[in-house]
Structure 1
Amino acid sequence: MDLHAYFIFLTTTIIVCMSPGPAVITIASQGARHGAKNALFGVTGVASANVVYFLLSATGIASLIIASNLLFSVIKWVGVLYLLYLGLNAIFSKSGGLSVNKNTSSNANGIARFSQGFVVELANPKALLYFLALLPQFINIEQPVVLQLLIMGSSCLVVDLLSYSMYAYIGQKLSSGSVKSSIVNLINKSAGGFLLFAGLKMASVSANV
């Protein structure tokens, strides 16, 4: 994997992680109810679920890459369409926007918050579909595959921890009235726009990235 391919992978991962969804709503709600620091248990739960999905998706990656061009094209265009769907959903759908329900019931202990984050993310196969669609396009079979997967897996873990921690902080600020709804709306629209860009960029990726 060269630096250009890694940059595309990392940028796309950051955008997808920051795109509003069930896990974002959960972590922001935990931040609003318990504070950003206590919501880190939930952040760790979400990140752990994504590690599980990454490991599942990474199994057999090399054989998937060297399969037929038709199979690769199908995988690529599924990924493109999925990113475009996420982008349009974030821009136009009210359900795709970030919102915080401070009345949502939640246990106060760390194990419960971790479990909530883990279950919510594991129940949403977005990460599995994302990794299945994306990983094969950024693996160079002429270089050590395991090392490349370790680099991408570690990068995804760091991005997860940082991005969801940010949403925990935003949730805390939303509960105190420090962040205006217009700012939250701007985050949604920006995330949607970047997802559309990432989808169009992915369309140009070839099997020999």
Structure 2
Amino acid sequence: MDIHAYLIFLTTTTIVCMSPGPAVITIASQGARHGAKKALFGVTGVASANVVYFLLSATGIASLLVASNLVFSIIKWVGVAYLVYLGLNALFSKSGGLRINKSTSSNTKGVALFSQGFIVELANPKALLYFLALLPQFIDVEKPILLQLFIMGASCLVVDLLSYTMYAYIGQKLSSGSVKASIVNLINKSAGGFLLFAGIKMAAVSSNV
């Protein structure tokens, strides 16, 4: 993989990571409620899920998962159900999608935040399809494949950690009091609507994509 191909890969991955999605909403919510530092557990969870998908894609297992309608459907519908739950919670709970009440932050363990980030991302089959479709496009078969996969995998991990950490701090900023309550409420409702929309879109995802 030459430098030009690598830069295209890196740019594409960065844009995808920075685009608003279920994981972004989750991490921003954690940052708003628990602070950016504690939300790093959630960031690590999202990044870990992407590492799993990257390894599955790199080893070819992803092709088998996509080929198995049953396994793919299980992953998809678990993700749909969880996103719908998060969306409804954001729309109808008093705290909303981006919770700014920090009174319970000390009672929430890091493993719970990690698990939430991990589940949200792992239950998104589009992440699996993304890596499955992306990796082969940038691998030069005439050069050491393992080295190329290591470079791309490490790059994805760094981009994930940096981008989601940024969203954790954005969430924390929302809870600092510098943003009006009406704006936070609008963000809450928008987050809930987006999560429901993402769930509906995920329901339509096919392994033939």
The answer as to whether partners of 2:100 and 2:175 remain within 8 angstroms in 1 is no
Secondary structure in structure 1 of the residue aligned to 2:127:
helix
Q: 2:98: which partner in 1? A: 101
Q: 1:81: which partner in 2? A: none
**Please, what is the CA RMSD of the aligned residues?**
2.6
1:19 aligns with 2:14: no
Q: 1:80: which partner in 2? A: none
Change (3 A) 1:40 1:177: same
Unaligned runs of 5+ in 1: 65-98, 186-209
How many angstroms does 1:100 deviate by?
4.6
How many angstroms does 1:11 deviate by?
0.5
Distance in 1, matches of 2:58 and 2:35, equals 35
Distance in 2, matches of 1:100 and 1:5, equals 38
Distance in 1, matches of 2:18 and 2:116, equals 19
Unaligned runs of 5+ in 2: 64-95, 188-209
Distance in 2, matches of 1:179 and 1:100, equals 16
How many angstroms does 1:101 deviate by?
2.3
The answer as to whether partners of 1:170 and 1:179 remain within 8 angstroms in 2 is no
Amino acid at match of 2:143: Q
Superposed CA deviations along residues 18-42 of structure 1, whole A, max 9, x for unmatched, are 1111111110000000000000000
Distance in 2, matches of 1:136 and 1:34, equals 39
Q: State how 1:1-209 maps to structure 2 within 5 Å.
A: 1-60=1-60, 100-102=97-99, 108-178=108-178
- Number of aligned residues: 147
TM-score (norm 1): 0.64
TM-score (norm 2): 0.64
Secondary structure in structure 2 of the residue aligned to 1:39:
helix
